[in-house]
Structures are given as C-alpha cells and as structure tokens.
Structure 1
C-alpha cells in the first residue's frame, strides 16, 4: 500500500473536540484509537457519530461474534481494505470462522460452509455488496437463519464496515505494524 494521504494525529496537539472523542474511543470497548478512527478524528463531529455507530455494530448487535466478524471480513475483502482484513481476520478466526473459510474469502473464492447461518450471512453480504441489493431467495434465507431484527443489524454492520473500508482506501490507511498486505496488487 502507498503512504497515508493524511498526516497522523499528534495526540499531544489534539483540539478540545478531538480530545473528547479520542478519550471516548480509548475508554470504550476498543481500547485503542487506530486506523480509520484516526482519520475520522480530523472531523470530530463525524468521528463522534461514526465511532458510536461502530461500537454498536461491533459489540452490541444480536449477531454472535462469529457471524458479525464473518460479515466484517467479507466486507473488507470486497473492498480489498488491508487494514480491515489485518485487524479482523484473526478476530473472526478466534470467534469461530474457520481459517479455510477466511482464506477463501480473502482470495475471492467461494467458501465451503458447514453452518447454514454462516452460509446465509455470507451469501447475503456478498450479494448486497456485488449487486447493490439481494434477491428474495437470499433475503428469505437470511431472515430464516437470523430473524428480521438481526438481518436489519447485519445490513448496519455491512454499511458501517463499507464506510470503514472506504476510509481505509481513500486515505491509504497503513496496515497495522508488522502486518503483511493481504491484498497485494495483482
């Protein structure tokens, strides 16, 4: 990946508005201010709203972490957002997504699922990203596996992590230290 397009935030010189949001993120469930969150802090009002939505999407939906992280890495792979993949692929595997499924998603191959809920989340996620909508069959499959409320939350996760991935790609957010590029140029 190329060099970041923005100068990194200097925590010692944050504006009062940036400092409030920075401290909220740091003291929240993430415990770290990294990647796209640092970009958003260039606009504290955006960062405030975005990080609050992100905290809900990552920690408070009714999707179990295994399915939430599956949706997140699917989104990261669609967008080829290296930072996102480097952070969330290990979390997804720890949450129960098989390494083989994660690798197939990274490579853009069709994963072989054993669990119907995983297959439904993946199919819904891929179809929504690729087609900008989902067929009735895919929708019904997802609702059958998750229910309506959780399907709505899944769309929220997909939208939020698309926003994350767009931020990563638009501003060339660097990979975490020591991570290799999961999506090298073809």
Structure 2
C-alpha cells in the first residue's frame, strides 16, 4: 500500500482534520430499526463503494435527523440517480473534493469512481484540471465548469457555451447543483473535521492512482 505521505494530494495538502469537532454517532446510539435500515442501505450501496460499512458521513449528519433525511433524498437525486453519466458525475465530485482539499470526500469517491468506470489515468490527471491533455471535449467542459463555480461562483460564458454542446438544459442545471452540493458537503466535512474511515483509508492507499505524475504538487 502507498504510505499517506506518498499519495496524491492537492496544493497545500489536504485540510488537516485534527480531532473531530463533531463526532459521528455510533450504531449503538441509533434505534434498532434505523440500524437495520442503514446496514441494508450500506449493503445495497456496496456495489458502488465496495464496502458494507455505514459511512461516517451518515452517522455525522444523523446528529440532525430532520436535515439528514431531507439531505439524503436530495443527494440521491444527484448521485446515484442523476441523469448524468456516472463517470461524468464522479469526475465532477472528485474535482470538487480536490479543489476543496477534502480528504474524506476524495477518499470515498476515488473508490466509488473507480467502480463506476472512471479510469486510473483520468483520476491521475485530475490534479492538472481541465487543461490537461487526454480529456474529451465533454470532460473538459465539465471540469472547467466545476473550477469556474469553485473560483468565481459562476460558470463563465465560454464554459457555458462548451456545456451547451454536450448537455441538455436539465443536465446543465444538474451539473451546477452537483458541484454546489458537493462543495457544501466538503465544507461540512472539513469543518466537522471528519477523518476518513480506516477501511476507506486502506482502499485509498491501495488505489493505483499514486504514480509519479500524480505526485507533482503545483504551487497554490
């Protein structure tokens, strides 16, 4: 496995989680019916994540059940039940995680992305952004839109025109909401200082994405 210090990381490194500011609930603190529901959901989701463990992000957000259930319903309409190709959606989410320096989001979605068909080469070139060689025109437009929203909170006219060449109106709206949602979630995870689960850390360390080209850390 690749040691943490040799793994791919954004400029300045991942944001330091430190001790959790808000600890996730443990399953023992959740009602039995809800434990069963979460475990069934994790087992069903294992086709995407490769893990049957209830993710800590769920156990964190369950500290506010009223928001959790509303969030879960909305989030599921973007991923995995959105209209975008799953590989396209995962590229966007991974780029958001990179831009926000959110290791939890990154580690979870490297595993999900690889299982959804995102290539090792695609993840390896994500640090270089939309200008890297090897992207399709569609992928370049997606990543440019993701970066525009992160940097200036608006998709630039030229980027929007590129999106129009590849995506219908409803999909362009979905792209903006997908980016916004995962930026919001990254902010919650970074602020709560939620560390990546041990099993997810092991998956990330085993992922074949930590090659020499990916280890170049450009200046902020």
Same fold per TM (> 0.5)? yes
Higher mean displacement: 41-50 or 154-163? 154-163
The equivalent residue for 2:29 is: 13
Please name the residue that 2:45 is paired with.
30
Q: Judging changes above 3 Å, is the alpha-carbon distance between structure 1 residues 108 and 136 closer, same or farther for their aligned structure 2 residues? A: closer
Contact residue 92 and residue 146 of structure 2 kept, 8 A: yes
| Alignment pair present for 1:122 and 2:139 | no
Q: Aligned-pair distance for 1:46?
A: 0.8
Q: Once the 2 structures are TM-superposed, how far is the Cα of residue 151 of structure 1 from its aligned partner? A: 1.0
> What is the CA distance between 1:79 and its match in structure 2?
0.6
What is the TM-score when the length of structure 2 is the normalising length? 0.71
Uncovered stretches (5+) of structure 2, i.e. residues with no partner: 1-16, 47-52
In the alignment, which of 137, 146, 171 is matched to residue 167 of structure 2? 146
- 1:4 correspondence with 2:25: no
Work out the CA distance in 1 between the residues paired with 2:25 and 2:75.
Answer: 20
Distance change in 2, residues 1:142/1:61 (3 Å): same
Partner of 2:101 in structure 1? 80
> What per-residue deviation string (whole Å, max 9, x for no partner) do you get for residues 89-145 of structure 1?
232234333323312324668432332211111111111111111111111211211
Deviation (angstroms), 1:24:
5.0
d(CA) in 1 for partners of 2:54, 2:82: 21
Q: Give the aligned length.
A: 182
Q: 1:6 deviation in Å?
A: 2.0
Pick aligned residue for 1:167 from 188, 194, 197: 188
Matched position secondary structure for 1:59: coil
Structure 1 residues 111 and 24 mapped into 2: Cα distance closer, same or farther (>3 Å)?
farther
CA distance in 2, matches of 1:55, 1:131: 26
Q: Residues 93, 15 of structure 1: CA spacing in aligned structure 2 closer, same or farther, 3 A cutoff?
A: closer
